[in-house]
Structure 1
């Protein structure tokens, strides 16, 4: 996208110029994160990101306001009150901790990634993979899923995941390089050769693990589910892959425990015996939403959802 410098720009030209500038600023910010933040003493980085979180929370931009609407529904409230505001402040600190750790993760030793993990339920996942059957790990935007993926790689289980194609392209390439350096196989949500679904299905049939963040629909073709008592949309991909390939669908929830990372791998959601393909995907996605409800309700401050999920907001 090219910025125009003349005074005769159309409105579209001015928008393009503003977008190009915004993209450069964002790209530069992430570049600084991966080159400077990762080298700072951890205590200093943590203090900086905590202050940044509090500053962002006080400004109450669109993302923070949406976060508070989302947390209100988690708590069963009809409006934002003082309890929701306190929780949203904690959630912003958790969210910025995720980014601080993402920038610094390439510096973390294998020993730290492994020893600071507090995980339960992974035995079933490992048994499935060792049997030669593929597995879909479906997670919400909680805790630090980059670290969880790095833990899996260190445990000898390579993963394939899908990322949203970001703008500018240079930023997307930085994120792809970051995750590939952790040992992930990365597929772009759009723009990949062939269909992403077909490539994921191939990996599952090979007995591998696919990790998908699955609590927000990006396509406007999501499955409508009941989520905290209200209709919401979630992507059909995880359930559809399980139905198509016979892979196991395993929900995963994540949170922080002090300086440690908490993860629970939940029991497999089986493919229903009855119904057509669409109804099976619907039923499995609804079960996935119910598992997310329990995980988010237990650790609402670690659900980093600053976007719209519920149908009434869409």
Structure 2
């Protein structure tokens, strides 16, 4: 019998995340910031597949960028990504005052008015900035709990860590498996609740085709379908960092349900509007879009098979 692998990658990942939440949160903030920047620069210099994919994605966002500009953007992107992780590891130790001061969104009146309507609200975000911090701000500053979903991770203990982390920030977390999550989300919305979904990359076979920076991609049908089925308001949100310890963001105006068309046509129209809102925020702050995976359908074809079926 041959020898097994010397390192169990799943257990290693679980241990590293556990170390982050147990150790990084105890570091002084300045030390954690510097550590994150150093880790980002080391990762960027190694030029792994994630960096190459990030630059390929950024090339579509900034099509006229030179190679030097793309390299600078990807380096800034990795620093932004590591800032997200350093903040996330430290969030459980942040005081309510620190959370409230750590996020300053524009046009938050769209969200406040939507919550007062009692129709239910779906907030949809791309992989920008730190959506965990934005969620903690909603539960702490606005005092509003919400429901979200999380992708199943292996090992199970790692998934449990993420669920416990987000529940500790005031979120209800449902597993991103099967169709049961949709029904629970719909019930929360019909009761006037808040649902928050990261929605710029499809993880299922039911994604809706959209034009995104001029090329075809697929985005989840969930946000639009939930709004259609429950009457909830659908609001896009984009996030970004600047040179301060405070994260910035914008709550975009409601994406309204079209007056005509089939349910599928309405969902497609709304998802395209969602993609357009995401694109506007990403174009303004490309370095804060943490997309290190394949997204556009053209990038899913080279290994054969149907576009959109390759694991990412």
TM over 0.5, yes or no? yes
Q: Please name the residue that 2:306 is paired with.
A: none
Query: Which of 104, 109, 112 does residue 98 from structure 2 map onto?
Result: 112
Deviation at 1:80, TM superposition (A): 6.8
Deviation at 1:220, TM superposition (A): 3.0
Q: Please name the residue that 2:248 is paired with.
A: 262
Q: Does residue 86 of structure 1 match 2:72? A: yes
1:204-237 CA-partner distances (Å, limit 9, x unpaired): 0010110000000011321110000111111110
| Separation in 2, partners of 1:212, 1:52 | 28
Q: Please name the residue that 1:63 is paired with.
A: 50
Q: Please name the residue that 2:285 is paired with.
A: 299
1:220/1:82 Cα in 2 relative to 1: closer, same or farther (>3 Å)?
farther
Q: Please name the residue that 1:250 is paired with.
A: 235
Q: Please name the residue that 2:308 is paired with.
A: none
SS of the residue corresponding to residue 207 of structure 1 reads: coil
Report if aligned partners of 1:223, 1:236 keep a CA contact under 8 Å in 2: yes
Q: Please name the residue that 1:281 is paired with.
A: 267
Report if aligned partners of 1:216, 1:309 keep a CA contact under 8 Å in 2: yes
1:65-103 CA-partner distances (Å, limit 9, x unpaired): 1100000000024x8711101100000000000000000
| Separation in 2, partners of 1:80, 1:145 | 30
Q: Please name the residue that 2:163 is paired with.
A: 176
- TM-score, normalised with respect to structure 2: 0.93
Query: Which of 125, 129, 133 does residue 111 from structure 2 map onto?
Result: 125
| Separation in 2, partners of 1:129, 1:156 | 11
Q: How many residues align?
A: 298
Q: Please name the residue that 1:3 is paired with.
A: none
Query: Which of 1, 18, 23 does residue 31 from structure 1 map onto?
Result: 18
Q: Does residue 101 of structure 1 match 2:87? A: yes
Q: Please name the residue that 1:196 is paired with.
A: 181
- TM-score, normalised with respect to structure 1: 0.92
Query: Which of 16, 29, 47 does residue 34 from structure 2 map onto?
Result: 47
1:8-46 CA-partner distances (Å, limit 9, x unpaired): x7xxxx5xx57x700111111001000001001111111
What runs of 5+ residues in structure 1 fail to find an aligned partner?
1-5
Deviation at 1:190, TM superposition (A): 1.4
1:63/1:220 Cα in 2 relative to 1: closer, same or farther (>3 Å)?
farther
| Separation in 2, partners of 1:254, 1:280 | 26
| Separation in 1, partners of 2:72, 2:282 | 16
| Separation in 1, partners of 2:102, 2:16 | 28
Q: Does residue 207 of structure 1 match 2:188? A: no
Q: Give me the CA root mean square deviation.
A: 1.4
What runs of 5+ residues in structure 2 fail to find an aligned partner?
301-312
Report if aligned partners of 1:68, 1:80 keep a CA contact under 8 Å in 2: no
Report if aligned partners of 1:27, 1:170 keep a CA contact under 8 Å in 2: yes
